[in-house]
Chain A
Amino acid sequence: MGGIKNGSTIVHGLAAAEPPALLQAIANRLRAGDLKDLQVHSLLPMENVSKSLLAPDLSDCVQAFSWFVSKSSRSAVKVGLSYYVPNHFHQVPRLMRESLDIDVAVTMVSPMDQAGFFSFGTANDYTSTVARCAKRLIVEVNRNQPRVFGDALLHISEVDAIVERTSPLIEFKWPGPRPEDDAIGRLVTDLVPDGATLQLGFGGLPNTIAMKLKGHKDLGIHTEVFGPAMADLIKRGIVTGRRKNLHTGKHVFTVVEGSRETYRFINNNPSMESYPVSYTNDPAVIAQNDNMVSINSIIEVDLLGQCNSEFLGGSEYSGTGGQLDYVRGAYNSRGGKSILAFYSTAKQGRVSRVVPRLESGAVITTPRMDVHYLVTEHGVVNLKGKSTRARAFDIISIAHPRFRDSLLREAENMYLI
Chain B
Amino acid sequence: MDLGEKISGGVNILSVGGRLDAYSAAEAEKKLDGLVAAGNVKIILNLEGLEYISSSGLRVFLAELKKVRKQQGDIKLCCMKPNIREVFDIAGFTQLFNIAEDESAALAGFAA
B87 on interface, CB distance cutoff 8 Å: yes
Q: How far is the CA of A57 from the CA of B59 in the complex (A)?
A: 9
A190 on interface, CB distance cutoff 8 Å: no
Contact A80 B92, CB 8 Å, known A57-B62, A60-B62: no
Proximity bits, B10-40, A CB within 8 Å = 1, else 0: 0000000000000000000000000000000
Which residue of B54, B63, B91 contacts A56 across the interface (Cβ within 8 Å)? B91
Contacting pair B62 A75 (CB below 8 A): no
Contact A75 B63, CB 8 Å, known A59-B58, A81-B55, A81-B58: no
Contact A79 B96, CB 8 Å, known A56-B91, A60-B66: no
B53 to chain A: closest CB distance in Å? 9
**Which chain A residues (75-118) contact chain B, with CB distance < 8 Å?**
75-76, 78-81
| A interface, over-half SS | loop
Contact A75 B59, CB 8 Å, known A60-B66, A80-B54: no
Contacting pair A79 B66 (CB below 8 A): no
B21 to chain A: closest CB distance in Å? 10
Proximity bits, A47-80, B CB within 8 Å = 1, else 0: 0000000011101110000000000000110111
Proximity bits, B77-112, A CB within 8 Å = 1, else 0: 000000000010011110110000000000000000
Contacting pair A75 B90 (CB below 8 A): yes
Contacting pair A78 B54 (CB below 8 A): no
Contacting pair B62 A59 (CB below 8 A): yes
A333 to chain B: closest CB distance in Å? 42
Residues of B within 8 A of A60 (CB): 59-60, 62-63, 66
B101 to chain A: closest CB distance in Å? 22
Contacting pair A59 B66 (CB below 8 A): no
Proximity bits, B35-69, A CB within 8 Å = 1, else 0: 00000000000000000001100111011001000
Contact A80 B55, CB 8 Å, known A57-B96, A75-B92: yes
Interface size on B, residues (CB 8 A): 15
Q: How far is the CA of A59 from the CA of B54 in the complex (A)?
A: 13
Residues of B within 8 A of A78 (CB): 90
Contacting pair A76 B91 (CB below 8 A): yes
Contact A56 B95, CB 8 Å, known A75-B90, A79-B58, A80-B54: yes
Contacting pair B96 A75 (CB below 8 A): no
Q: How far is the CA of A81 from the CA of B55 in the complex (A)?
A: 6
B99 to chain A: closest CB distance in Å? 14
Q: How far is the CA of A76 from the CA of B90 in the complex (A)?
A: 7
Contacting pair A59 B59 (CB below 8 A): yes
Residues of A within 8 A of B95 (CB): 56
A185 to chain B: closest CB distance in Å? 35
Q: How far is the CA of A61 from the CA of B59 in the complex (A)?
A: 8
Contacting pair A81 B96 (CB below 8 A): no
Residues of A within 8 A of B63 (CB): 60-61
Contact A56 B96, CB 8 Å, known A79-B55, A80-B55: yes
Residues of A within 8 A of B93 (CB): 56
Residues of A within 8 A of B54 (CB): 80
Residues of B within 8 A of A59 (CB): 55, 58-59, 62, 91
Residue pairs across A and B with Cβ atoms less than 8 A apart, 13 shown, are A55-B92, A56-B91, A56-B92, A56-B96, A57-B96, A59-B55, A59-B58, A59-B59, A60-B63, A79-B55, A81-B55, A81-B58, A81-B59
Q: What residues of chain B have their CB less than 8 Å away from a CB belonging to chain A?
A: 54-55, 58-60, 62-63, 66, 87, 90-93, 95-96
Q: What residues of chain A have their CB less than 8 Å away from a CB belonging to chain B?
A: 55-57, 59-61, 75-76, 78-81
Ranked 3 nearest A-B pairs via Cβ: A56-B92, A80-B55, A60-B62
